[in-house]
């Protein structure tokens, strides 16, 4: 039995689907049963779990051959960092009490840094705490997800301007499609790899690095509308993020993240030997996202 936390997200769903296609039993762990229909449709067993309750997490992993753990960022919480650390502590307590035979955690580029990287410091905390679990551990660090651009697509299409916190706009940065992360995670769960005393750290990004200018050009090509990249001035970042609905502390985590990103600190760790590259291109992801935007606009009419 493969247990997948965060199975309703892009990465978790891709992992669950890949495992089911290979004929494996999958238990999809969700927080809301109303979101489980697509997972049940592909043959997943559904488990409800409260991520702040160690007993609930322990029940979800009972009998697992391998566990994939994605710790969510509680975006609606007034203090998302504190809330995420609580979820991490709860999960680690459950894993230490009943260690699964194999454990894989989704992490981020830059997680090797203990501070100064905003929201990514939470993944450093996650990795540090998981190292105390007596189980073979794989840390899968992913670059920025291409799907994140979906948040600003409606604005870009409506105004012809793609807002970006990347500085400069022509700077190439690593990015990856969420489905490639999920499929690699499933592969690593199945393969396991050789037993080792230290965690296995694997990185994944797309085959080509891109810039904000590349994203704008691709959007313009696919939408057949003019789209230009716009570098949001540094002193406007907080106001823009707050205007997008982020709380004060969440906005600061993102500001700190992009300061680190623009300083070159959010990248693959220099000494990682296991580097993987996803096959999905930015163009493919943006085409899919534009189709979803069009469908949503049609449904709203």
Q: What is the pTM of this model?
A: 0.95
Query: Which is nearest to 204 in space by CA: 264, 280, 143, 266?
Result: 143
The answer to whether 77 touches 88, Cβ cutoff 8 Å, is no
Query: Which is nearest to 32 in space by CA: 61, 82, 72, 63?
Result: 72
Measured N-to-C along each axis, helices 212-223 and 282-300 cross at an angle, to the nearest 10 degrees, of 50
Q: Where are the domains of the chain?
A: 2-143+177-204+267-278
The answer to whether 41 touches 58, Cβ cutoff 8 Å, is no
Residue 278 CA to its chain's centroid (Å): 14
Residue 108 DSSP code: E
Q: Which class is domain 2-143+177-204+267-278? A: alpha beta
Give me the tens of pLDDT residue by residue for the chain, a chain 301 residues long.
999 999 999 999 999 999 999 999 999 999 888 889 999 999 999 999 999 999 999 999 999 999 999 998 888 899 999 999 999 999 999 999 999 999 999 999 999 999 999 999 999 999 999 999 999 999 999 999 999 999 899 889 999 999 999 999 999 999 999 999 999 999 999 997 656 668 999 999 999 999 999 999 999 999 999 999 999 999 999 999 998 889 999 999 999 999 999 999 999 999 888 999 999 999 999 999 998 887 766 666 6
Say how far apart CA 115 and CA 195 lie, in whole Å.
30
The answer to whether 5 touches 39, Cβ cutoff 8 Å, is no
């Amino acid at each position: 039995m493969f247990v997948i936390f965060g199975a309703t997200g892009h990465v978790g769903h891709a992992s669950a689907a890949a495992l089911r296609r290979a004929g494996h039993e999958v238990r999809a762990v969700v927080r809301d049963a109303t979101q489980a229909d697509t997972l049940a449709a592909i043959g997943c067993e559904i488990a409800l779990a409260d991520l702040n309750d160690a007993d609930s997490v322990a029940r979800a992993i009972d009998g697992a051959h391998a566990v994939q753990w994605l710790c969510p960022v509680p975006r609606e919480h007034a203090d998302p960092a504190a809330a995420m650390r609580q979820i991490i502590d709860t999960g680690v307590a459950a894993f230490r009490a009943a260690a699964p035979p194999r454990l894989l955690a989704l992490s981020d580029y830059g997680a090797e840094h203990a501070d100064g990287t905003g929201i990514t410091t939470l993944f450093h905390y996650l990795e540090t705490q998981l190292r105390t679990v007596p189980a073979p551990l794989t840390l899968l660090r992913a670059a920025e997800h291409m799907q994140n651009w979906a948040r600003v697509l409606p604005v870009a299409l409506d105004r012809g301007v793609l807002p970006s916190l990347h500085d400069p706009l022509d700077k190439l940065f690593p990015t990856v499609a969420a489905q490639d992360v999920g499929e690699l995670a499933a592969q690593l769960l199945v393969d396991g790899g050789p037993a080792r005393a230290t965690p296995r750290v694997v990185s994944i990004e797309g085959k080509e690095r891109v810039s904000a200018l590349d994203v704008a050009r691709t959007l313009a090509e696919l939408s057949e509308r003019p789209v230009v990249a716009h570098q949001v001035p540094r002193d406007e970042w907080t106001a823009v993020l707050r205007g997008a609905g982020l709380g004060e502390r969440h906005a600061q985590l993102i500001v700190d993240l992009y300061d680190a990103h623009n300083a070159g600190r959010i990248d693959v760790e220099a000494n990682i030997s296991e580097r993987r590259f996803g096959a999905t291109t930015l163009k493919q992801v943006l085409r899919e996202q534009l189709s979803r935007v069009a469908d949503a606009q049609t449904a709203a009419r």
